[in-house]
Amino acid sequence: TIHFYSDSINDRPLLEKADQAFVVDPDQSLAELACHKGWPVIQFAD
């Protein structure tokens, strides 16, 4: 099983290849993609 964590929309191809993708402190475009794909979003920044 491959888990992939990213905070960049530039990693979209890798996020899509992973068995489980996690989005960390996303900007708006990555947050929208995560919502569309059903990927969990992890927030560390305020």
pLDDT tens column, 21-43 = 999 999 999 999 999 999 999 99
Return d(Cα 9, Cα 1) in angstroms, integer.
22
pLDDT higher than threshold 90 for residue 16? yes
pLDDT at position 45: 74
Instruction: Residue 9: give the domain boundaries.
Output: 3-42
The pLDDT of 1-8, averaged and rounded, is 98
- pTM for this model (two decimals): 0.89
Q: Using a pLDDT cut of 70, give the percent of the chain over it.
A: 100
Do residues 17 and 2 make contact, with C-beta atoms less than 8 angstroms apart? yes
Nearest to 16 by CA among 37, 1, 30: 37
* Strand-pair partners of 24: 42
Instruction: Give the chain's domain count.
Output: 1
* Helix, coil or strand: residue 4: strand
pLDDT higher than threshold 80 for residue 11? yes
Do residues 14 and 6 make contact, with C-beta atoms less than 8 angstroms apart? yes
| Whole-number average pLDDT of the chain | 97
